[in-house]
Amino acid sequence: MTKNEKPKLAMYWSSSCGGCEVSVLNIHEKILTVDEVFDIAFFPCIADFKTKDVEAYPDGHITVCLWNGAIRNSENEEMAHLLRKKSTFMVAFGSCAYEGCIPALSNLTSKEATFNTVYKDNPTIDNPEGIIPLTSVQVPEGELTIPEFYNTVKSLDQVVDVDYYLPGCPPEPEQIWAVLQVIVGALLEGAPLPPKGSIVGASNVAVCEGCEREKSEKAIDRFYRPYEIVPEPDVCLLEQGLVCMGLATRGGCGALCPSVGIGCRGCYGPMPGVEDQGAKMLSAIASVISAGHESMEEAELEERIQTVVDTIADPAGTFYRFSMAHSLLQRAKVNGSNGKGEAA
Amino acid sequence: MSETYEPVIVGFLCNWCSYRAADLAGTARIKYAPNMRAIRVMCSGRVDPQFVMKALREGADGVMIAGCHPGECHYVNGNIKAMRRFYLLRKMLTQLGVEEERVQLIWASASEGILLAEKVDQMTEALRALGPLNWDEKVVNRSNGYKAAEVAPVLEEA
Amino acid sequence: MTEKSNSENKERVGVYVCHCGTNISKVVDVEEVARWAGEQPNVEVARDYKFMCSSLGQELIEQDIKEKGLTRVVCASCSPHMHEKTFRTACERAGLNPFLFEMTNIREHDSWITDDKVAATAKAKSLVRGSIDRVIHHEPLEQIPVEINPNTLVVGGGIAGITSALELADAGYHVYLVEREPSIGGHMAQLDKTFPTLDCSACILTPKMVDVAQHDNITLLTWSEVEKVDGYLGNFSVTVRKKARYVNEEHCTGCGICIEKCPFKEVDEVFEAGMGTRKVIYRPFPQAVPKYPVIDKENCVYFKTGKCKACEKFCPTEPNSIEFDQEDEILQIDVGNIILATGYDLFDSKRIPQYGYGKLDNVFTGLEFERMVNAAGPTDGKIVLRDKESTPKSVGIVHCVGSRDENYHKYCSKVCCMYSLKFAHLVHERIPDAEIYDFYIDMRTPGKGYEEFYNRLLEEGTHFIRGKVAEVTDAARIPEEEGKLIIQVEDTLIGKQRRIPVDMVILSSAMEARAGSKEVSQLFKMGCDFDGFFTERHPKLDPVATMTDGILIAGACQGPKDVPESVSQGAAAAARVAGLISRGTVMMEPVRASIDQEACSGCKICNNMCPFNAIIFHEDRKVSEVITALCQGCGTCVAACPSGVITGAHFTNDQLFAQIEGVLWDMSAEKASA
Domains annotated for chain B, with CATH where assigned, are 9-137 (3.40.50)
Q: Please choose, from the candidates C257, C253, C284, the residue with its C-alpha nearest in 3D space to the C-alpha of residue C270.
A: C284
Establish if B56 touches chain A: CB-CB under 8 angstroms: yes
Identify whether residues C443 and C418 lie together within a single domain. yes
pLDDT at B156 over 50: no
C-alpha distances in Å from residue C591, one per residue of C613, C625, C629, C632, C648: 17, 16, 11, 7, 7
Tell me: the pLDDT tens digits for C288-316? 999 999 999 999 999 999 999 999 999 99
A163 part of contact set with chain B, CB < 8 Å: no
Which residue in B has a C-alpha nearest to residue A151's C-alpha? Answer: B138
Could you tell me the mean pLDDT of each successive run of 10 residues in chain A, 344 residues long? 77 95 92 91 92 96 96 96 96 96 95 91 90 93 94 94 94 90 84 90 94 95 94 95 96 94 96 95 96 83 94 96 95 62 34
Residues C253 and C297 in one domain: yes
Last residue of one domain, picked from the residues C143, C168, C196: C143
C664, amino acid identity: L
* C334 and C238 share one domain: yes
pLDDT given for residue C228 in this prediction: 92
From the candidates C110, C113, C131, which should be mutated to test the interface with B, based on the most B CB atoms within 10 A? C113
What are the chain A neighbours of B144 within 8 Å (beta carbons)? 270, 275, 326
List, as ranges, residues 4-63 from A with C-beta within 8 Å of B. 30, 32-33, 36-37
Cross-chain residue pair A247–C603, CB shorter than 8 Å: yes
pLDDT value of position B134: 85
A: neighbours with 3+ CB pairs under 8 Å?
A: B, C
Task: Determine the 3-state secondary structure of C542 from DSSP.
Answer: strand
Residue C673 lies in a domain: no
Is C405 inside a domain boundary? yes
How confident is residue B149, by pLDDT bands cut at 50, 70 and 90? low
Compute the mean pLDDT over every residue in chain C, rounded to the nearest whole number: 93
* Chain C residues touching B8 at Cβ < 8 A: 664, 667
- Stronger pLDDT, C450 or A291, i.e. the higher one: C450
Helix (H, G, I), strand (E, B) or coil at C103: strand
- Asked if C302 and C285 sit in the same domain, the reply is yes
Q: Examine the domain organization and report whether C498 and C371 are in the same domain.
A: yes
Mean pLDDT over C600-615 rounds to 93
pLDDT value at position A181? 85
Q: What is the pLDDT of residue B152?
A: 43
* 8 Å CB contact of C643 and A205: yes
CATH topology for A8-102+152-199?
A: Rossmann fold (3.40.50)
Which B residues 29-48 touch C at CB under 8 Å? Answer: 29-34, 37-43, 45-48
For residues C24-44, b (16+ Cβ closer than 10 Å) or e, as one string? bbebbbbeebbebbeebebbb
- Domain end point (choices C510, C525, C544): C510
Chain B hits for C116, Cβ within 8 Å: 34
Assess if residue C659 is contained within a domain.
Answer: no
In this complex, the residue of C115, C530, C659 whose CB is nearest that of residue B31 is C115
Quote the CA–CA distance of C60 and C68 in Å, as a whole number. Answer: 11
Does the CB of C664 have a partner CB in chain A at under 8 Å?
no
Same domain? For C611 and C467 the reply is no
Residue ranges per structural domain of chain A = 8-102+152-199, 110-151, 207-313
In angstroms, rounded to a whole number, what is the distance separating the alpha carbons of residues C28 and C126?
12
Minimum mean pLDDT range among A62-76, C57-71, C252-266, C517-531: C517-531
B141 to chain C, any CB pair closer than 8 A? The answer is yes
Q: Using a CB–CB cutoff of 8 Å, tell me whether C126 touches chain B.
A: yes
Q: Out of C125, C143, C161, pick the residue that ends a domain.
A: C143
Residues with Cβ within 8 Å of residue C342, at least 6 apart in sequence: C155, C156, C514, C517, C520, C555, C557
Q: Which of A67, A145, A158, A65 is nearest to A104 (CA)?
A: A158
Provide the number of structural domains found in chain C: 5
Contact of B64 with C157, CB cutoff 8 Å: no
Q: Which residues of C touch A276 (CB under 8 A)?
A: none
In a domain, C302, yes or no: yes
Q: What is the DSSP string of C58-75?
A: HHHHHHHHHHH--SEEEE
- CB-CB: which of C529, C612, C648 is closest to B109? C529
| Cα–Cα–Cα angle for A135, A140, A143, rounded to 5 degrees | 25
Share of chain C above pLDDT 90, in %: 87
Query: Pick from C462, C460, C473, C537: which is nearest to C500 by CA?
Result: C473
Separation CA A100–CA A89 (nearest Å): 20
Q: A interface mutation test: which of C605, C617, C653, C654 has the most A CBs within 10 A?
A: C605
CATH of residue C40's domain is 3.40.50.960
Across the interface, do C1 and A157 touch by the CB < 8 Å criterion? yes
Q: What confidence category does residue C629 fall into, taking pLDDT thresholds of 50, 70 and 90?
A: confident
| Antiparallel, parallel or unpaired: β A142-145 and A136-139 | antiparallel
How many interface pairs between A and C have CB atoms less than 8 angstroms apart?
Answer: 82
Distance CA C287, CA C594 (A): 54
In Å, how far is C351's CA from the nearest CA of chain B?
A: 25
Q: Which pLDDT does position A76 carry in this prediction? A: 97
* Site from B1, B14, B47, B74 to mutate, C interface, most C CB atoms within 10 angstroms: B74
The verdict on B102 touching C (C-beta cutoff 8 Å) is no
Among B26, B45, B78, the residue with its CB nearest the CB of C109 is B26
Q: Tell me the per-residue pLDDT of C535-588, one tens digit each, with 9 for 90 and over.
A: 888 888 889 998 788 999 999 999 999 999 999 999 999 999 999 999 999 888
Cβ contacts (< 8 Å) between A7 and chain B: which residues?
none
Q: Give dist(CA C509, CA B28) in Å, integer.
A: 32
Q: Does A215 touch chain C (CB under 8 A)?
A: yes
Average of per-residue pLDDT across C47-52: 97
In this complex, the residue of A203, A297, A344 whose CB is nearest that of residue B148 is A203
Residue C386 shares a structural domain with residue C464? yes
Distance CA A21, CA A93 (A): 10
Could you tell me which residues come within 8 angstroms of residue C540 by beta carbon, excluding any fewer than 6 positions away?
A: none
Q: Cβ separation of B47 and C639 shorter than 8 Å? A: yes
Cite the DSSP H helix spans in C112-217: 117-135, 159-170, 201-214
* Interval B21-39 mean pLDDT: 95
* Residues C561, C623 within the same domain: no
Hey, are the CB atoms on C602 and A248 less than 8 Å from each other?
Answer: no
Assigned domain for C654 exists: no
pLDDT of residue A3: 55
pLDDT of the residue at A16: 95
pLDDT band at C452 (very low <50, low <70, confident <90, very high): very high
- C-alpha radius of gyration, chain C, whole number: 32
Residues C354 and C493 reside in one and the same domain = yes
Nearest chain B residue to A304 by CA: give it.
B84
C-alpha span between C570 and A275 (Å, rounded): 51
Same domain, C339 and C387: no
- Residue C527 has its nearest CB partner, among B38, B51, B74, at B74
> C448 to chain B nearest CA, in Å?
30
Cβ neighbours of A273 in C, within 8 Å? 644-645, 653
CA nearest to C614, candidates C268, C303, C232: C232
Q: What percent of chain C has pLDDT over 70?
A: 98
| Of A38-42, B151-155, C382-386, minimum mean pLDDT range | B151-155
Are both C259 and C396 inside the same structural domain? no
Partner-chain contact A202 B135, CB within 8 Å: no
Chain A residues closer than 8 Å to C624 by CB: none
Q: Which domain holds residue C281?
A: 245-327
CATH number at residue C537: 3.50.50.60
Question: How far is B143 from B137, CA to CA, in rounded Å?
Answer: 17
Task: Provide CB contacts within 8 A for A159, sequence distance 6+.
Answer: A71, A77, A80, A81
pLDDT of C9: 62
Is the same domain home to C496 and C601? Answer: no
- Quote the ipTM score: 0.93
